[in-house]
Amino acid sequence: MGSTGRLGSAGPLAGILFDMDGVVVHQRLDFPAIKREIWGDTEGYILERMATLSGEALARAEAILERHETAAAMEATVMDGALPFLAWMEARGLRRGLVTRNSAKSVQIVLERLGLRFDAVVTREDAPPKPAPDPVLLACRRIGLRPAQVLFVGDFEFDMLAGRRAGTGTVLLCGGTQRSSEHADLTVDSLGDLRRAIEERSGGREAAASG
């Protein structure tokens, strides 16, 4: 587990935002296969490339991506440690939101299938996608908190950039290929590690207040 950075010096934590894939749920999305089907190659990022399309080409790309996302959503599973962490958040009265580049349709399928509940859900239809700060700022507004009161947990650089640009604390969950980020305030191997870091910070603040 890395340094707590801003996590240790920020004000009282009131909410946590999560990326979905690789953090809350596991989905088998084959991004190279999606890009090959749309463009015939595996270059770049899907949403950024789709932003350059229009008309029939855009409609075709959206249909292909939606088909892949829906299929993955129907087989998605909850990540290890996610349910205990969400239960712990609820017991502490922490608000929770989901910020994802996925479609609203596929996210709804995932949440309904797995029985997951969030106070706010922001998808690519709601705001420009991460790494833009817009979806993170929108999620903060929807849960009624200032960015300084919130942590954003993700497993990819786009998550860290979006959170940093929005002014939240940033937590990199090292469950995938990315193991570090200069934009992460905290790096953890599991949500259990994050829970312990938050509890240690809270304990230190409570001790200082009573000293």
- Each of the 211 residues of the chain gets a pLDDT tens digit; together they read 444 445 544 568 999 999 999 999 999 999 999 999 999 999 999 999 999 999 999 999 999 999 999 999 999 999 999 999 999 999 999 999 999 999 999 999 999 999 999 999 999 999 999 999 999 999 999 999 999 999 999 999 999 999 999 999 999 999 767 888 999 999 999 999 999 999 998 775 544 444 4
> What pLDDT is recorded for position 7?
58
pTM, two decimal places? 0.90
d(CA 191, CA 153): 9
Write phi, then psi, for 122 (nearest 5 degrees).
Answer: -120, 120
> What pLDDT is recorded for position 104?
97
> What pLDDT is recorded for position 204?
52
d(CA 40, CA 34): 9
Task: For residue 56, count CB atoms less than 10 angstroms from its CB and return exposed for 0-12, middle for 13-18, buried for 19 or more.
Answer: exposed
Query: What domains are defined for the chain?
Result: 6-26+78-210 (3.40.50.1000), 31-73 (no CATH)
